[in-house]
């Protein structure tokens, strides 16, 4: 049962990285769009979906707390700076996007939106890096310092994630607003992102941290990310470009988790202190309750969000 | 200050400010849903304009309020690792149901409602606001299930490694610290929503007596505030039996009776200070007196709505001013209520099971001091931004809300339309 909930947790995070990723990508692109009208139109192209996109991370954090209480404490401790940056980024992005057109100084809001998009994409990339690197956890479950953040591979992973999210945001604007400049941007940026992603994969294979149990599965999934980015740069239809970048955004979390499974967060100090899926999971009764109480409603949630995308498939009026 | 004191101060401040957002959100969403229902049923335009005007305030408050909720969710993980390690199994489950089932759905529906004016069918759009209100109340329910476990832990067994494991979910739902407290809290949010609407309407009516929108809003706000206060007080007293059974020290004060109970607690749980601070008694006295006074004032205001006396007669002016001044009162009283509930639970994080001192993360006082300054500045800043934006939105002409096409249009909406055309 714990593995099932681990998969659900992965699916929730994957949904967030696809949907929240497009928010972050559009946010980062905002300063590149000329003029207030363009920027407003870009933000309103996310409009009705924005809250729905962002809440997946809250749902994922909720499942993390309930189904994997012991993982949550150690992961947050090991990646403390990245987690704090992500929280601040989430706050700033949510507030700034919704309040931008209510305040007087839109320029300041635009900078805040772009900055928080960049912060979020970097922080989530760092989190992947910390997971792959492993953390200095001792037998008692205490984390000793932030050594993973000194590893250049962790930062390269963050750069790869930022580029990936940027391409995804451009692909969304291309698809939703038929913005032809975005086609050129995707065509130029996607190969760069693919190259950096391939470099990141190579780097992790060379440094080969002890926590990586299934290098083959991780490599295959990472290669699919690279391939999806190459496809995004070449394919013709706008919808297909977006679909390709969406696949590329969903996979990093799957690739990372698969490479590490059945551990989640390896200890670099003591193999015995490594956090595994089973050890991190809550008791059987809690998981059964979640399975009965929450799992049946996940399809409802997906259906409501799908209905939202369908109802607002045409450009919306400007609210923000 | 010690790490524990910083962690408590940080969480107390975040939770208190978060709750003021929650009160406004819950109170407004139900009232907006009622207005929009009247609009769809009667077809009268004024109710649609009301729903849109107050819905705008609701959406602003929600946008900023999410941020404070997120801070809280992460603070539990970062600063209170003992709580999740020992009892996370039990109280984490309802919290997960809250985020996953209620909150995620609520946000999705709200996004559709905000952008749905004039785009979606009237009945579908009405369904969206009721869906938002229902999931918001469901959120409140699951959060209170979690909180009731902290007040009065039930339905668990401690296993060999000292971790509390859930054994009986139905016990969580029949917890005697749950239902009256939930009703008390939800009724208090109706007071907050009602008084906010009444106070702003009274202010607008002092400037523009003839506004039908604010006249109707004023009457609705006063009525809901009055009924809400009645039930808040009632469900407050209804909790007394359970509280004295569950937490004998909470209402005992510091007199001779308390010293006697202190000795009993030492016998039960070992040496320690079990008497609650003076803040609990003071908060309780303030809360109940303010609530009684508020009930009387709203009763007078309700009488003065007869033939619109409150709006038309000069001698009734002070009452109009008073209503506007009352806007923050339900929020402050709500925070006092949480002081009684949470400060009165000390020294326990989970009553009788986990001490607050054992629940805090093993972090240095220095690290916690900085995160306390950082997060406190953040949530206080968010609260200030929220009230500034609410005041701005409240001062705007009804019908000038952003987005969509609806009812009487003014320049701004036409301007937005042109932008779309461009």
Cα distances (Å, whole numbers) of residue B94 to A62, B90, B106, B184: 9, 8, 16, 20
Write down the pLDDT at residue B406. 45
Which parts of chain A sit beneath pLDDT 50?
A: none
Write down the pLDDT at residue A291. 85
Cα–Cα distance for residue pair A177/A170, rounded to 1 Å: 10
Dihedrals φ, ψ of B288, to 5°? -70, -35
B354 strand-pairing partners = B350
Q: Which residues of A touch B109 (CB under 8 A)?
A: 304
Write down the pLDDT at residue A243. 92
- Segment B141-169 shows an average pLDDT of 88
- Segment B257-280 shows an average pLDDT of 84
**B312-360 pLDDT per residue, tens:** 888 888 889 999 999 999 999 999 999 999 888 888 888 888 889 888 8
Average pLDDT over all residues of chain A: 87
Average pLDDT over all residues of chain B: 86
Six-digit token string for B149: 């476990």
Write down the pLDDT at residue A292. 84
A248-277 residues touching B, CB cutoff 8 A: none
User: DSSP string covering A83-151, please?
Assistant: HHHHHHHHHHHHHHHHHGGGSS-HHHHHHHHHHHHHHHHHHHHHHHHHHHH-B-B-TTS-B---GGGG-
In three-state secondary structure terms, A2 is: helix
**B240-263 pLDDT per residue, tens:** 888 888 888 888 777 778 888 888
Write down the pLDDT at residue B402. 56
A138-197 residues touching B, CB cutoff 8 A: 141-142
Q: Residue B11 pLDDT more than 50? A: yes
How many angstroms away from the CA of B362 is the closest CA of chain A? 8
- CB contact, 8 Å: A302 with chain B? no
A29-48 residues touching B, CB cutoff 8 A: 37, 40-41, 47-48
A88-107 residues touching B, CB cutoff 8 A: 88, 90-91, 94-95, 98-99, 101-103
User: Nearest-CA residue of chain A relative to B403?
Assistant: A319
Query: Using an 8 Å Cβ cutoff, are B230 and B188 in contact?
Result: no
Six-digit token string for B118: 């004039």
Q: Rounded to 5 degrees, what angle do the CA atoms B383, B205, B197 make?
A: 40
Q: How many CB pairs under 8 A join A and B?
A: 212
pLDDT band of B411, cuts 50, 70, 90: very low
Q: Which residues of A touch B97 (CB under 8 A)?
A: 66, 290, 293-294
Run of H or E residues at A202:
helix A180-207
Task: Tell me if B404 and A50 make a contact (CB, 8 A cut-off).
Answer: no
Query: Using an 8 Å Cβ cutoff, are A246 and A229 in contact?
Result: no
**Residue B100 burial (CB < 10 Å; 0-12/13-18/19+)?**
buried
Write down the pLDDT at residue B413. 41
**B115-125 pLDDT per residue, tens:** 888 888 899 99
Task: Tell me if A76 and B78 make a contact (CB, 8 A cut-off).
Answer: yes
Six-digit token string for B166: 């859930």
Write down the pLDDT at residue A105. 67
Write down the pLDDT at residue B416. 44
Q: Residue B109 pLDDT more than 70? A: yes
Task: Tell me if A47 and B93 make a contact (CB, 8 A cut-off).
Answer: no
Write down the pLDDT at residue B414. 39
Query: Using an 8 Å Cβ cutoff, are B100 and A16 in contact?
Result: no
pLDDT band of B144, cuts 50, 70, 90: very high
Neighbours of B123 (CB within 10 A): 9
């Amino acid at each position: 049962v714990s593995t099932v909930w681990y998969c659900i947790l992965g699916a929730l995070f994957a949904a967030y990285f696809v949907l929240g990723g497009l928010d972050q990508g559009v946010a980062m692109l905002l300063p590149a769009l000329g003029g207030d009208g363009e920027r407003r139109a870009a933000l309103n192209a996310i409009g009705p979906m924005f809250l729905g996109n962002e809440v997946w991370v809250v749902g994922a954090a909720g499942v993390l707390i309930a189904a994997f209480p012991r993982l949550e404490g150690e992961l947050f401790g090991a990646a403390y700076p990245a987690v704090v940056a992500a929280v601040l980024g989430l706050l700033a992005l949510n507030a700034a996007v919704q309040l931008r057109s209510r305040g007087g100084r839109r320029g300041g809001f635009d900078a805040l939106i772009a900055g928080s998009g960049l912060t979020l994409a970097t922080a989530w990339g760092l989190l992947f890096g910390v997971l792959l690197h492993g953390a200095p956890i001792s037998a008692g479950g205490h984390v000793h310092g932030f050594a993973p953040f000194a590893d250049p591979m962790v930062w390269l992973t963050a750069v790869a994630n930022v580029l990936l999210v940027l391409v995804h945001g451009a692909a969304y604007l291309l698809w939703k607003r038929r913005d032809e400049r975005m086609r050129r941007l995707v065509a130029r940026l996607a190969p760069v992102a693919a190259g950096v992603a391939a470099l990141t994969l190579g780097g992790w294979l060379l440094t080969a941290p002890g926590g990586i149990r299934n290098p083959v599965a991780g490599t295959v999934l990472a290669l699919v990310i690279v391939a999806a980015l190459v496809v995004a740069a070449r394919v013709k239809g706008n919808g297909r470009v977006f679909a390709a970048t969406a696949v590329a955004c969903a996979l990093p979390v799957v690739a990372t988790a698969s490479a590490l499974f059945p551990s989640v967060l390896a200890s670099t100090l003591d193999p015995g202190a490594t956090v595994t899926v089973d050890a991190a999971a809550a008791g059987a009764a809690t998981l059964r309750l979640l399975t009965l109480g929450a799992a049946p409603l996940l399809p409802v949630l997906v259906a409501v969000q799908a209905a939202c995308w369908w109802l607002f498939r045409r450009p919306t009026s400007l609210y923000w | 200050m010690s790490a524990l004191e910083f962690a408590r101060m940080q969480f107390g401040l975040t939770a208190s400010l978060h709750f003021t957002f929650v009160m406004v959100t819950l109170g407004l969403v139900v009232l907006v849903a009622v207005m929009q229902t009247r609009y769809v049923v009667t077809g009268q335009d004024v109710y649609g304009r009301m729903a849109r005007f107050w819905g705008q305030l609701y959406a602003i408050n929600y946008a900023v309020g999410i941020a404070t909720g997120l801070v809280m969710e992460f603070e539990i993980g970062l600063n209170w690792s003992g709580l999740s390690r020992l009892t996370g199994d039990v109280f984490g489950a309802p919290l997960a149901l809250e985020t996953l089932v209620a909150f995620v759905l609520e946000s999705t529906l709200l996004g559709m409602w905000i952008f749905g004016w004039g785009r979606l069918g009237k009945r579908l759009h009405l369904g969206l606001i009721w869906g938002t209100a229902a999931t918001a109340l469901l959120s409140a329910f699951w959060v209170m299930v979690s909180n009731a476990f902290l007040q009065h832990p039930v339905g668990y067994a401690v296993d060999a490694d000292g971790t509390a494991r859930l054994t009986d979910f139905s016990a969580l739902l029949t917890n005697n610290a749950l239902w009256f407290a939930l009703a008390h809290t939800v009724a208090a949010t109706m007071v907050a929503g009602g008084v906010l609407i009444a106070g702003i309407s009274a202010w607008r009516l002092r400037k523009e007596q003839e506004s039908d929108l604010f006249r109707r809003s004023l009457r609705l706000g006063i009525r809901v505030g009055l009924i809400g206060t009645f039930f808040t007080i009632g469900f407050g007293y209804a909790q007394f039996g359970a509280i004295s059974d569950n937490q004998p020290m909470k209402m005992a004060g510091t007199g001779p009776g308390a010293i006697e109970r202190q000795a009993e607690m030492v016998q039960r749980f070992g040496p320690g200070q079990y008497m609650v601070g003076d803040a609990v008694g003071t908060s309780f006295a303030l809360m109940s007196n303010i609530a009684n006074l508020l009930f009387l004032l709203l009763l007078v205001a309700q009488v003065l709505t007869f033939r619109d006396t409150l709006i038309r007669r000069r001698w009734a002016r002070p009452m109009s001013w008073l209503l506007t001044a009352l806007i923050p009162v339900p929020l402050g009283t709500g925070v006092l209520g949480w002081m009684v509930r949470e400060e009165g639970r000390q020294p326990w994080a989970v009553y009788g099971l986990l001490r607050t001192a054992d629940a805090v993360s093993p972090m240095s006082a220095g690290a916690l001091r900085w995160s306390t300054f950082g997060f406190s500045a953040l949530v206080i800043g968010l609260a200030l931004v929220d009230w500034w934006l609410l005041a701005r939105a409240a001062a705007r002409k009804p019908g000038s809300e952003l987005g969509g096409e609806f009812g009487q249009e003014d320049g701004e909406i036409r301007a937005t339309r042109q932008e779309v055309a461009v």
